[in-house]
Amino acid sequence: MARAEAIVRRSLNPRAIADALVVPALAIGVGILIGAVVIVVTGGDPVAAFSALLNGAVGTQNNVVATLLRSVPIAIAGVGIGVALRAGALNLGGEGQMIMGSLASAAAATAVAGVPGPAGIVIALVAGCVAGALWALLPALLEVRLQIPILITSLLLNYIGALFAAWVSSYPLRDLSGSAAVAQTALIPQEMWLPNILAGTRLHLGIVVLVILPLAVAWLVRRTVVGYELRMTGANRLFARYGGIDVDRQVVVAMLTSGAICGLAGAVVVLGLNHRYIDTFVSASGFAWSGFIAAILTAAAPITTVFAGLFLGGLQVGAAGMTRATNIPLQIVDVVQATIILMVAARPAIRAWLARRTRAA
């Protein structure tokens, strides 16, 4: 526990926060500014839009719950993708891994329906993790064995996974009882649902993962030998290899872990939110890409990634409220998000510019 406290204390150190937050804060500011410009150009009122957005995100208890519900899968996926980034593996397959995790947990939850409460839920969660990890294994093996970039294969596997899940939920596991327009699997038994933790809302126990997971990953990455080797592999593969680290094994382990966490995110969507696999829900919600943005924005630091995930979740839920209030399409948020990552991509130049400003002042 003392270790966990040390990690929290270090990541809450004011100077460390200031240093780590300047670029993200600037990025978010410019992102919102660009979003406002787009709103003005397309004939909207940015002030009304953003106040509707803020209200939609955190204005009422229901809105706060909606923000939390949306942030859970984003933040989990973000932490997962961050693990791969730390090892220098560009896992763009978070979406496919989440989809496979969702599908597997839905199938497992139905299959083990007789198992009493917690054990059954754990089995379904593990099934999601395993499916996600397996979906990340192929890109990892192709990179270490054949030097095929993970970023390409993991991305292409998103489409294959989405189509596979579409088939499973349209034919073998299709729920024929309802008349839903979208293919979906049958509702899982109620004892397999993640317990509700706030009466009158849909807030579920999955939110606890947002506390435990980043601490666990932060501990793993910063305080264990595996984590050290992982960081070395990401920082400089040649140096890591020179130091005796089995770099290929690190990349595979990082991708397996990353895929497992993304699979967990998918399982939480099924067990906590929808209680069934709904086709195209994961990709349409853009959970994995938002997770990727959260990870990139925070340089893959697990604890801050969760906060970035909460921010992005709030932005998206708030945008839905803004759309209801002002009729501005909610995809304006994607424009804000893309601007944020462009700024982060330019981080070295921004750092240099800030340093010049500081010297000049």
Rounded to a whole number of angstroms, the minimum distance from the CB of residue 280 to another protein is 11
Site membership for another protein, residue 329 (CB under 8 A):
yes
Neighbours of 50 (CB within 10 A): 18
Which residue from 277, 281, 287, 292 is in contact with another protein, where contact means CB under 8 A?
A: 292
Rounded to a whole number of angstroms, the minimum distance from the CB of residue 335 to another protein is 5
Which two tokens mark 142?
A: 């192709």
Cβ-based nearer residue to another protein, 63 or 153? 153
Query: How long, in residues, is the chain?
Result: 361
Cα–Cα distance between 153 and 195 in angstroms, integer?
37
Site membership for another protein, residue 123 (CB under 8 A):
no
Rounded to a whole number of angstroms, the minimum distance from the CB of residue 324 to another protein is 14
3-state DSSP call for residue 183? coil
# residues contacting another protein (CB under 8 A) = 60
Cα–Cα distance between 270 and 114 in angstroms, integer?
18
Residues 6+ apart with CB under 8 A from 245: 229, 232, 233
Which two tokens mark 107?
A: 């199938």
Residues 6+ apart with CB under 8 A from 102: 128, 165, 266, 267, 269, 270, 277, 281, 282
Cβ-based nearer residue to another protein, 308 or 333? 333
Site membership for another protein, residue 38 (CB under 8 A):
yes
Site membership for another protein, residue 23 (CB under 8 A):
no
Site membership for another protein, residue 234 (CB under 8 A):
yes
Site membership for another protein, residue 217 (CB under 8 A):
no
3-state DSSP call for residue 361? coil
Cα–Cα distance between 293 and 74 in angstroms, integer?
9
Summary count for the chain: helices (H), strands (E): 16, 0
Rounded to a whole number of angstroms, the minimum distance from the CB of residue 249 to another protein is 17
Applying CB under 8 A, the span of 68-76, 144-152, 191-199, 268-276 interacting with another protein comes to 144-152
DSSP secondary structure code for residue 60 in this structure: S
Rounded to a whole number of angstroms, the minimum distance from the CB of residue 38 to another protein is 8
Residues that bind another protein (CB under 8 A): 38, 42-43, 85-88, 90, 92, 142, 146-149, 151-153, 155-160, 163-164, 166-167, 170-171, 221-222, 231, 234-236, 289, 292-293, 296, 299-301, 329, 331-335, 337-339, 341-342, 344-350
